[in-house]
Chains A and B, each alone.
Chain A
């Protein structure tokens, strides 16, 4: 007897018990599709978060430390000279930009409306370094930066609060910030709060008209060439500033260096664990499905003991019986696995399609089905078929024909 015959006999056996076959497959289908879907969702979250954070992952932010070191020297502010020193580092291969920023809350008003915005004074490279885009108008340029022009770029929340939802409506109007008048030259695209409630202007403009003079900065943003260069760039920044502030012991540092990279790494690590965990939960349902197949195959063998006896009496060898039952369970598990894969992929696609309906946070979210999860879960279903079918099939094949025939 060849394999094709064995396959035919097995298929006929499955068709004869259609409902039972389908119910058995259901266990595998649910298991496989949930493994695929959950892994896909995990991957989707990871990649959508990475997509948002990756452009900022190469940024290093330096801020003054709050509070004194007891018994130490008075902490020094970050000043323009620090910025200049870091900009000189720009000759190194690891840093592409160094920009200062001063920030503070200030009342922003038109004749009709008022809004408490975060005023940011920085350079013309602020937009590019923060990886932001304009919704309307343009950012201030180098000439405006140098000439301390009285211009401002509004965050979308500020603009819509003061001038209505159309960003273009704000252009060329003036706003009063701290009772000083500024011309609105652009509106930023939304990045989510609190970033949407800003009013950005040239550094010296902000100093002169809002925060008062001096050469203090609240923040220095250093852009590394790439996320991987962040640790080296951080070291360079720390060395330079420590030298300038005459700090010998890192515990006495009067500034803090922060970057997203380490946080991103931590986040990805947590997410990977979560994905593994959910996949493990799904694997449990796959395991339950496996027990279902085993159960059905055991019942099937018992129920068909007499049939096995008949088949043996008319010439079926052990191998023929083994093949019949093994193929039955392999087909059940394999077909269940295939359908499960299709359902899992289908649900993932569906998830990607409906995700935007849950708001802008999910706009870029899409479950990502990975080849390994498909291959592995199909492999597992075949293994289930082999193991869950192998044991009962072997039992069936070893039955003595007369005992099987006597079975009632």
Chain B
């Protein structure tokens, strides 16, 4: 379970302070599928970085499964990312010059798991890329790269999957595939948080959180949720 209590984030750039989050309170239960929406610069990515333990809040508390992670050291945060969180980025962020299967394996390497190759193959098959294991990132289409990224996010079996505009760089068809995958993962019991600009993407979420200028301005549970079809 995720609990943000009065979380603020201030970026300091020399003498100038940029306030990205103003007192955000947010609770997300296990197994939820949440879409976070809002105009550019409203603090969505900042929020996701904090949720994903890539960054710590300037003030406020962040309880992840009951433990306060807002003041943890670099190393502890890395361990939490390794164990509990999977990321999918808008720009895919695969490690360059490293084959699909090796990219998928990496989280296991850092988690200290020895038997990896099979798990990585399975994960790739799960996202429909069983036949692209040895391909380098630059030999894959955008949609395929994003699917590799999803496989990589899944390999550690994380409870929380964070996706920052996962379809932002993809055409409609690929977007559909990616959203189906993410939806399926949520159905399997994972907490999924998707940041998006597109209303259609938000439609598949059970809950939509809207942000503006670093604040949450609305938080609704959708009744007429759309079932996504590939």
Top 3 nearest A-B pairs (CB, nearest first) are A315-B82, A315-B110, A16-B97
In the complex, the answer to whether A315 meets B78 with C-beta atoms within 8 Å is: yes
The answer for the CA separation of A400 and B50 in the assembled complex, in Å, is 13
Residues of A within 8 A of B112 (CB): 1-2
The answer for the CA separation of A5 and B111 in the assembled complex, in Å, is 11
Q: Interface of chain B, helix or strand or loop or mixed?
A: helix
Binds B, one of A107-115, A305-313, A325-333, A374-382: A305-313
Look across to chain A and name the residue whose beta carbon is closest to the beta carbon of B96: A307
In the complex, the answer to whether A318 meets B75 with C-beta atoms within 8 Å is: yes
Smallest Cβ distance from B6 to chain A, in angstroms?
21
Most buried by A among B78, B82, B98: B78
Most buried by B among A5, A9, A306, A315: A315
Look across to chain A and name the residue whose beta carbon is closest to the beta carbon of B111: A315
Which one of B79, B82, B97, B102 contacts A314 once the chains associate, using CB atoms below 8 Å? B82
Most buried by A among B94, B109, B111, B112: B109
Residues of B within 8 A of A229 (CB): none
Q: List 13 A-B contacts (CB under 8 A).
A: A1-B110, A16-B98, A306-B93, A311-B95, A311-B110, A313-B54, A313-B87, A314-B107, A314-B153, A315-B107, A318-B78, A400-B55, A401-B54
Q: Given contacts A307-B95, A313-B93, are A402 and B110 in contact (CB under 8 A)? A: no
Residues of chain A at the chain B interface (Cβ within 8 Å):
1-2, 5, 9, 12, 16, 306-307, 309-320, 400-402, 405
Which one of B52, B75, B98, B109 contacts A313 once the chains associate, using CB atoms below 8 Å? B52
User: CB of B187 within 8 A of chain A?
Assistant: no
Look across to chain A and name the residue whose beta carbon is closest to the beta carbon of B155: A314
User: CB of B203 within 8 A of chain A?
Assistant: no
Q: Mark B55-89, 1 if CB is under 8 A from A, else 0.
A: 10000000000000000001100110111000101
Smallest Cβ distance from A145 to chain B, in angstroms?
86
The answer for the CA separation of A1 and B112 in the assembled complex, in Å, is 4
Which one of A16, A315, A319 contacts B156 once the chains associate, using CB atoms below 8 Å? A315
Q: Given contacts A1-B110, A307-B96, A402-B49, are A314 and B74 in contact (CB under 8 A)? A: no
Residues of B within 8 A of A2 (CB): 112
Residues of A within 8 A of B228 (CB): none
Smallest Cβ distance from B197 to chain A, in angstroms?
19
Residues of A within 8 A of B97 (CB): 16
Residues of B within 8 A of A16 (CB): 97-98
Residues of B within 8 A of A314 (CB): 81-82, 87, 106-107, 110, 152-153
The answer for the CA separation of A2 and B106 in the assembled complex, in Å, is 13
The answer for the CA separation of A317 and B110 in the assembled complex, in Å, is 8
Look across to chain A and name the residue whose beta carbon is closest to the beta carbon of B94: A310
In the complex, the answer to whether B93 meets A310 with C-beta atoms within 8 Å is: yes
Smallest Cβ distance from A209 to chain B, in angstroms?
92
In the complex, the answer to whether B96 meets A313 with C-beta atoms within 8 Å is: no
In the complex, the answer to whether A9 meets B109 with C-beta atoms within 8 Å is: yes
The answer for the CA separation of A1 and B156 in the assembled complex, in Å, is 14
